[in-house]
Amino acid sequence: MSTDTSRRRALRPSGKLLQEDARRHHRALILQELFAEGPRSRADLARSSGLTRVTVSDLVAELIDGGLVAELGAPVESRIGKPPILVGLRGDALQIVVLDLSVDDQVTGAVLTLSGEVCSRDQQSLGGAKGDAALALVHTLARRLLDRAERRVLGIGVGSPGIVDPSGTVVDAPNLGWHHVPLAEGLHEAFGLPVYVANDANTAVLGEHTYGHAGEGGLMLLRVGTGVGAGLVLDGALLHGHRNAAGEIGHVVVDPDGAPCACGRTGCLETVVAVPHLRPRLAEAADPDAVRTAVGEQLGRVLAPVVGALNLHELVLSGPSELLDGALLAATDRVIREYTMPVSGEGLVVRTSTLGDDVVLLGAAVLVLAGELGVS
Residues in contact with Zn ion by CB under 5 A are 251, 261, 263, 265, 268
In whole angstroms, give the CA distance from residue 75 to residue 344: 43
C-beta separation of 279 from 323 below 8 A: yes
Cβ 139 to Zn ion, closest distance in Å? 30
- Three-state DSSP class for residue 350: strand
In whole angstroms, give the CA distance from residue 224 to residue 33: 33
CB nearer to Zn ion: give 100 or 248: 248
CB nearer to Zn ion: give 128 or 264: 264
CB nearer to Zn ion: give 251 or 292: 251
Q: Give the bridge partners for 197, in sequence order.
A: 158
- Three-state DSSP class for residue 296: helix
Amino acid at 164: V
Close Cβ partners of 343 (under 8 Å, ≥ 6 residues apart): 311
Cβ 299 to Zn ion, closest distance in Å? 15
- Three-state DSSP class for residue 89: strand
CB nearer to Zn ion: give 103 or 263: 263
Cβ 217 to Zn ion, closest distance in Å? 30
* Element housing 237 (H / E): strand 237-238
Amino acid at 373: L
In whole angstroms, give the CA distance from residue 188 to residue 376: 22
Pairing of strands 40-41, 86-89: antiparallel
CB nearer to Zn ion: give 263 or 330: 263
Q: Give the bridge partners for 108, in sequence order.
A: 100, 123
Give the residue from 249, 263, 252 showing the smallest Cα distance to 315: 249
DSSP 115: T
CB nearer to Zn ion: give 239 or 254: 254
- Three-state DSSP class for residue 80: coil
Cβ 304 to Zn ion, closest distance in Å? 20
CB nearer to Zn ion: give 135 or 299: 299
Cβ 192 to Zn ion, closest distance in Å? 39
Cβ 364 to Zn ion, closest distance in Å? 26
CB nearer to Zn ion: give 33 or 248: 248
Pairing of strands 228-234, 237-238: antiparallel
Q: Give the bridge partners for 352, in sequence order.
A: 317
The number of CA neighbours under 13 Å toward the Cβ of 283 is 6
Cβ 162 to Zn ion, closest distance in Å? 13
CB nearer to Zn ion: give 81 or 256: 256
Cβ 297 to Zn ion, closest distance in Å? 20
Close Cβ partners of 214 (under 8 Å, ≥ 6 residues apart): 208, 233, 314, 316
Cβ 285 to Zn ion, closest distance in Å? 23
